[in-house]
Each structure stands twice: as C-alpha cells, then as structure tokens.
Amino acid sequence: MPDWVQDAVWWHVYPLGFVGAEPVAPVGGPVVHRLGHLTAWLDYVVGLGASGIALGPVFASGTHGYDTVDHRRIDPRLGDDADFDALVAAAHDRGLRVLLDGVFNHVGRDHPAFRAVVEQGPDAPTASWFRLRWPAGWAPGDVPGHDTFEGHGQLVALDHSAPAVAAEVTEVMTHWLDRGADGWRLDAAYAVPAAFWASVLPRVRAAHPDAYVVGEVIHGDYAALVRQSGMDAVTQYELWKAIWSSLNDGNLHELAHALGRHGDLLDTFVPLTFVGNHDVTRLASRLTDERHVAHALAVLFTVGGTPAVYAGDEQAFRGVKEDRVGGDDAVRPPFPATPAGLLPFGADTHRLHQQLIGLRRRHRWLHRARSTPVHLANRQLTYASGSGGERLLVALNLDDARSRQPAPGAREVLAGAGTVQRPGTAQSTVELPPHGWAVLGV
C-alpha cells in the first residue's frame, strides 16, 4: 500500500447524480461541461478534513455510468478531457488525491467491442473479449448469447481469460493514471477472477508504483482475495453492516464480533471502511434512531481502515435505496451549485464529521489500529483502539438511561460527551448521557 494512504480520508462522490446529468445519455448529444460543478466543492472537501475525492464513474456510458461505452473518453454529460484535467489539477493544488471508478467486469451493450461482434460475427477482432454463444444461421445484426453481470442484459460480461482484455484494462488504468489520477476503485471486483488482477496490476504498477487500488467486494474471504489479486484493499461491507445493524437492534455484541474479524483482516491489509456509499440506503435513513448517527461515525473514525464519507452523509442527507428501476436515485441526488446552497439542517452532522476526521488525522496510527472490547453489554460497549504503543478508548451507550462504563486508563474526553472518574487509573470509568458516546484519551 502506498505510504500516502495512511492519511487518506475519502469524500466519495457519484458524479452523474452530483451534477444533475440526464439519466440517459442523448445519442449524439453535445458535450456539457459540468465537472466544474464538482470543482466548486473542493474547498468544502478540504474544510471537511478529507484528503481526497473518490469519484464514481466518469467515463462515457449509456445511463448510470456502469454501462461503459468508452473507457478512454469522459462522459459527455460531464465534460471532456480538459474538464477532467482541470478537476484533477484543482484537486492536487489543494492537496487532494483523486480516485477513479473502473468498471472492468463488464461493458455496456453499445461498447464498440461488442457492437463489432454483433456486426461482424465470430470473426470480429474483439470476439475473444466476451463469452459468446452463437445462434445457428447467424447473420449480421443478430445478437449472440452472452454472459451478463448478475442478469442485467445491458451489461455484457468480459472474458477475463482473454489476453486482449487484460491488455485493454492495463492500458486504460495506465492512461488515466498518466493523466493525474492517484488510484482506482475496481467495480464488482468480486466477479472477476483474482488471477486477472494478479496479471494486470503489476503491469500498471510498473508505471505507477504509488497508485492505490481498492476492489469492491461484498461477501467472501477478503484477505484471501487481496493476497491472490495484488489489490491494496477491498471494501469492508461486513463492518458496514455490523455498525448499523448492531445500533438498530441494540446488540453491540454483533459490533464487537465484527471488530474482532476486522482486526484479523488488518494482519493482511487495511480495508476501505464506510457507513454509506452510492449503492446503499443513507445512514440517516437506515438507522431507526437518528441519535445513533454519531455512534456510527465514532466507530468509523476510530477503528483501523481507510475511511470514506459518501457525499451528503456529512450533511445528514436522507435517501432509501429501492430494488426497482431508478431505485438508486434517492441516494444519488444532485447537489447545489456551491456549498452555500446547502440547507442548514445538516450543520451539526457536518461539524461532527469535521471533529472526528480531525481527531483521526491527529492520531494517524489509527489507520492500522486493532479494536478490542474492554466492556460489553447489549447496549453498552467500551473498546480500545491501539497500534504501535498508542491507544484510545471509545465508549458507546444506546440506553435511555445514563451509563457508567469501565474505561481503564482514560484521562480525558477527546470527542463526544462524558465524565471520566478516577482518570488515568486501572479503575477509570466514564459516565455517558442517555444515547451518549465519547472518545477518550489515555
């Protein structure tokens, strides 16, 4: 993992939604220069305390960005190469890194490589790119049977055993790193054989050894995939689920168990951690008690990992993902032209993000910290996060009543609210208000 990632805190943006682009790309439509909309928010990102922007898809596609039709061209609904270069330059001028979203498991039906197959048949130069089933009596224009991504007919799965596909992905990743990107999120990395990434990534890193590569992985053996693929990290969905589920159920045993498993992963890699992203219901809508948003954030910023904040969550945006056409729209809304257009209702949540991000960046060792419970009940948890001889305590209370919890060695409250008794001793405790939390220095 590149050294700079130790200090990384990402602000994750879904660009097509952020700028209010059309949901379907107009055929032959003009280039609309909208990436400047995002540039206008970069000072806000710096003020939040983040160190980089993690962009969703920015390459030419038919609809939502994950049906790519040209990996070498910026989506005309966002702008062009010059707009991208300006965004990257503006980000770098502010010390912000830029992470791109690479959709390399599949392409859209209108991708030229697949169109060539439909028009030219088995002799098309790109026929090896796909897993195809040719109908008897094929004629130009007939669409052969083909593998798809999770049954979505418009998303044509690539054949990752084909050398031409590995060469294409290598060239695309290198091209955009050459233009200034700092790394890649690999979309649907779980659907691609690890051996494919193990073939591609060394070639990419030969030109860009400082690039960060994180794969989207939902289920499975995270550590094994990192070892086999050569990726730096994968997304920590298991911890994401445990955070909101344990808070909703009043079952902090679930969170404690997940923190143990999370610590085991840190023996191999540092996961990308989050409590929201463009594919899931927003945290403020997911939690049954909004007072526990703060608890979720306290966990996110005090455990090992590379944290990402989904744009809008820091303003307590709401939005429910639904399993239907357009079901992502509520969690991918357009943003005002500038931060001045934000409504005031999210100000407290924004300040809390600033406070906790600031705390994390002052304790940069938290990137690899292991978190161990020192007191555990259904609705109370105190855990210690430590690395390299450094240590913090985090205390959570989900009850309607005040709680007093063991906090051995605690000296002061660094964030949240609480009262430390017998500070700096093995008998130290912390008293928390109802539904309270505190990060404690030792």
d(C-alpha 306, C-alpha 360), whole Å: 11
Q: In the prediction, which pLDDT does 48 show?
A: 98
Burial class (CB in 10 A: 0-12, 13-18, 19+), 150: exposed
Q: Which residue is listed with tokens 């097509």? A: 16
Neighbours of 385 (CB within 10 A): 23
Between strands 403-406 and 429-432, the pairing is: antiparallel
Contacts of 208 (CB under 8 A, 6+ apart): 174, 177, 178
Structurally, what CATH architecture does the domain formed by 3-367 represent?
Alpha-Beta Barrel (3.20)
Residues for the chain: how many in total?
442
Contacting residues for 82 by C-beta, under 8 A, at least 6 apart = none
Residues 6+ apart with CB under 8 A from 42: 53, 90, 91, 94, 96
Please state at what angle helix 222-229 crosses helix 194-207, rounded to 10 degrees.
50
At 8 the three-state DSSP class reads coil
The total of other beta-carbon atoms located within 10 Å of residue 7's CB is: 14
Strand partners, 158: 130
Q: What are phi and psi of 435, to 5 degrees?
A: 55, 35
HSE-CB of 132 using CA atoms within 13 angstroms: 22
The whole-number pLDDT of residue 190 equals: 96
Q: How far apart are CA 325 and CA 313, in angstroms?
A: 23
Q: Where are the beta strands (DSSP E) in 143-271?
A: 145-146, 148-149, 152-157, 183-186, 212-215, 233-234
pLDDT of residue 325: 86
The DSSP string of 78-92 is T--HHHHHHHHHHHH
Q: Tell me whether domains 3-367 and 370-441 share a fold.
A: no
Separation of alpha carbons 272 and 130, rounded Å: 30
Distance CA 391, CA 361 (A): 14
d(CA 273, CA 269): 12
pLDDT at 129: 98
| Residue 26 to residue 181: CA distance in whole angstroms | 27
What's the distance, Cα to Cα, between the start and end of the chain in Å?
29
pLDDT tens for the 442 residues of the chain, in order: 999 999 999 999 999 999 999 999 999 999 999 999 999 999 999 999 999 999 999 999 999 999 999 999 999 999 999 999 999 999 999 999 999 999 999 999 999 999 999 999 999 999 999 999 999 999 999 999 999 999 888 999 999 999 999 999 999 999 999 999 999 999 999 999 999 999 999 999 999 999 999 999 999 999 999 999 999 999 999 999 999 999 999 999 999 999 999 999 999 999 999 999 999 999 999 999 999 999 999 999 999 999 999 999 999 999 999 999 889 999 999 999 999 999 999 999 999 999 999 999 999 999 999 999 999 999 999 999 999 999 999 999 999 999 999 999 999 999 999 999 999 999 999 999 999 999 999 9
Q: Tokens at residue 218, please?
A: 């939902």
Does domain 370-441 correspond to CATH entry 2.60.40.1180? yes
Q: What are the structure tokens assigned to 352, written together?
A: 């809390």
Whether the pTM exceeds 0.95: the reply is: yes
* Cα dist from 151 to 169, 193, 316, whole Å: 23, 18, 34
* Interatomic CA distance for residues 118 and 111, integer angstroms: 11
Could you tell me the residue ranges of all domains in the chain?
3-367, 370-441
Tracing tokens 């130790």 back to the chain, one arrives at: 6
Please provide residue 168's backbone torsions phi and psi, each rounded to the nearest 5 degrees: -65, -45
> What letter represents residue 13's amino acid?
V
- Distance between CA atoms of 168 and 25, rounded to whole angstroms? 24
| DSSP H/E element including 223 | helix 222-229
